[in-house]
Amino acid sequence: MMKQLRDIDFAVSPFIVIWEITQACDLACRHCRAEAIDWHDPRELTTEQGLDLIDQVHSMGAQIMVLTGGDPAKRSDIFELIRHGADLGLRMATIPAATEKLTPELIKKLKTSGLSQIALSLDGPNAEVHDTFRGVPGAFDLTMKGAQYIREEGIPFQINTTFSEYNLEYFDEIAELVKSLGVVFWEVFFLVPMGRGKLLKQMSARQYEKLFEKLYNVSKEVDFIVKITEAQHYRRYVIERERENKSLEKGSWEVELPDRMTRDFGPGGSIGHAPKGVNAGNGYVFISHIGDIYPSGFLPLTTGNMRQDSLADVYRDHEVFRLLRNADSLLGKCGLCEYRTVCGGSRSRAYAMTDNVMAPEPFCVYNPRKKSASK
Ligand code: SF4
């Protein structure tokens, strides 16, 4: 029986655990956090170590586990790993790369292994834009074919899109394409300048705000979830909009944020939204392909390793995780801001751009004037 989402105490249990099962991948995406490689690192966690990791994730009370990469389909034990997690009651998800390996047989096998949700990446509305971003000709066509196979198998389908200056101008066309693909979930990533993504031009704070507006408007029109990653201040934007629209009373914080699980997509449900704002180390933990434990895949602060540490001990007690969960330790304007517990800014971007994990979010237009009580 799945625990009620709203019951989770993020100091004890992460809502979502991401495990990068391999860095091997045939694509060369321009924003790749992992700087993926085309070979298997011999230090990857073994199947046994992976099964033990899944057991630990389950015993911590986490609900969602995402097997990412690289290209997770490059590991032949992916089916066994998914089966193990699904049998324990975890909602297992994965994000295969759009390559020749993405076949109807692969999708079918993932489904019969107990997969709850599958995501494909889409960063442009056509082959020209998407393939340039992904670094391999043909990636767009393979993504469209993969989407068709997933729809045919009936697995809840998610699109992931990373926005930066590069593809911002294509937002409307990308949104139209996503609407046509039969998704249950659109996860929109705001670029964190790390890995190969350091070379991409960042958006300005004003461009973030403009994109928030577009995403908010889309979220009101569609019947799928629009989830924002690494732009926690979207929560502040939504609260402000809902207050303007009078759908939220002045002084109330009980807005139904888009990053809550609000919809049910049938048996097994969908990989839904967290009951409250997730941030690096706060409802969220990342395990690298060699077992290193990080607060986020976008926040390369090593806090332990699965080969010798207990995931629960690191997540609950490591000083970095504890610091990240303490909104009153935020610096600069984030530390003053009344939205600091529902937002807190992207800790990953703050670290990538300043080397200080508690520094203010670099791309937020909001300017709190004096220290306010947080909500
Ligand atoms: S100032 Fe910081 S905490 Fe406040 S809304 Fe902006 S990013 Fe969020």
Ligand 1 atom 7 nearest Cα: 345
Residue-wise pLDDT tens digits, 99-129? 888 999 999 999 999 999 999 999 999 999 9
Provide the residue ranges of all domains of the chain, joining segments of one domain with +. Answer: 12-321
Whether the predicted model's global pTM rises above the 0.85 cut? yes
Task: With beta carbons less than 8 A apart as the criterion, state whether 143 and 120 touch.
Answer: yes
- Name residues contacting ligand 1 (CB within 6 A): 233, 236, 333-334, 337, 339-340, 343-345, 360-361, 364, 366
Among candidate residues 28, 90, 26, the one with its CA nearest the CA of residue 57: 90
- Ligand 1 centroid to residue 229 C-alpha, Å: 15
- Ligand 1 centroid to residue 355 C-alpha, Å: 18
Residue-wise pLDDT tens digits, 158-195? 999 999 888 999 999 999 999 999 999 999 999 998 87
The class that CATH gives domain 12-321 is alpha beta
- Interior/surface letters 163-190, b for 16+ CB within 10 angstroms, e for the rest: bbebbeebbeebbebbeebebbbbbbbb
44: tokens are 């990857």
Residues of the chain with pLDDT under 70: 1-7, 27-39, 196-197, 246-276, 370-375
The predicted structure's pLDDT at residue 134: 79
Give the whole-angstrom CA distance, residue 350 versus residue 323.
14
The predicted structure's pLDDT at residue 334: 96
- Ligand 1 centroid to residue 116 C-alpha, Å: 33
The predicted structure's pLDDT at residue 61: 94
Give the whole-angstrom CA distance, residue 4 versus residue 105.
34
- Mutate which of 212, 333, 349, 375 for ligand 1? The one with the most ligand atoms within 8 Å of its CB, which is 333
Query: CA angle at residue 33 from 155 to 74, to 5 degrees?
Result: 50
The minimum-distance atom of ligand 1 relative to the CA of 333 is: 1
Among candidate residues 105, 97, 94, the one with its CA nearest the CA of residue 149: 105
Ligand 1 atom 2 nearest Cα: 334
Give the whole-angstrom CA distance, residue 159 versus residue 257.
20
- Interior/surface letters 124-134, b for 16+ CB within 10 angstroms, e for the rest: bbebebbbbbb
Give the whole-angstrom CA distance, residue 184 versus residue 179.
10
Task: With beta carbons less than 8 A apart as the criterion, state whether 253 and 342 touch.
Answer: yes
The predicted structure's pLDDT at residue 162: 92
The predicted structure's pLDDT at residue 328: 94
Strand, helix or coil for residue 196: helix
